[in-house]
Amino acid sequence: MVFTSGIRKALLGGCFLLVGLTAFAQPELYRSVLDLSYKSARPALPVAAYRNISGAEFRSMVNKAFQKSDFSLVAVGQQKNKSTVFEFKFNADPKWRFVPTVLVSAEELLDGKKKCNPCYLRFFEIKNAPEVKALPWMAQYDLSARLLPAIDNAYATIESVGREHIDPAFRFDYKRQWEGEKTLFGNAFVGLSLPSLKENIVRAYQSAGFQPIEGEAPPKAPELTLAFSFPVDPAKEGGVVYKVKVLSQYDADGHCYPCEVIEYFDPHQQLPPAGLSGVVSRASLESRFTAARNAAYESMRTDLERYLRPRSVFSVPPKPAPLGSPRPPPMPVAAT
From its phi and psi, is residue 70 left (phi > 0), alpha (psi between -120 and 50) or beta?
Answer: left
- If DSSP codes are grouped into helix, strand and coil, which group holds residue 307? helix
Three-state SS at 256: strand
pLDDT at 15 over 60: no
- pLDDT confidence tier of residue 82, bands split at 50, 70 and 90: confident
Sign of CA dihedral 171, 172, 174, 179: negative
Last residue of a domain, one of 117, 134, 165: 165
Residue 108 shares a structural domain with residue 209: no
Top-confidence residue, 280 or 210: 210
Please tell me whether residues 18 and 64 are part of one structural domain: no
Inter-residue contact 77 to 84 (CB < 8 Å): yes
Per the domain annotation, does 172 fall within a domain? no
State whether 71 and 148 are in the same domain: yes
- Domain count for the chain, please give it: 2
Whether 292 has a pLDDT exceeding 80, the answer reads: yes
Specify if 334 maps to a domain: no
Which residue type occupies 108?
A: E
58 and 142 part of one domain: yes
d(CA 59, CA 336): 45
* Helix, strand, coil share of the chain (percent; to 5): 35, 25, 45
Residue 185 to residue 27: CA distance in whole angstroms: 8
Residue 252 lies in a domain: yes
CATH code of 112's domain:
3.30.310
Same domain, 189 and 291: yes
Percent of the chain with pLDDT over 90: 66
- How far apart, in whole angstroms, are the C-alpha atoms of residue 133 and residue 153? 22
Instruction: Report pLDDT digits (tens) over 54-78.
Output: 999 999 999 999 999 999 999 999 8
Q: Are residues 27 and 50 in the same domain?
A: no
pLDDT at 278: 59
Asked if the structure places residue 132 within a domain, the reply is yes
Cβ neighbours around 137 below 10 Å, total: 20
* Rounded mean pLDDT, 296-316: 97
Which pLDDT does position 132 carry in this prediction? 92
Note whether 216 and 144 are same-domain residues. Answer: no
**Same-domain check for residues 204 and 133:** no
Last residue of a domain, one of 113, 131, 165: 165
Confidence of residue 20 (pLDDT cuts 50, 70, 90): very low
Same domain, 298 and 195: yes
Q: What is the pTM of this model?
A: 0.83
Q: How does residue 290 score in pLDDT terms, banded at 50, 70 and 90?
A: very high
Q: What is the domain extent for residue 90?
A: 45-165
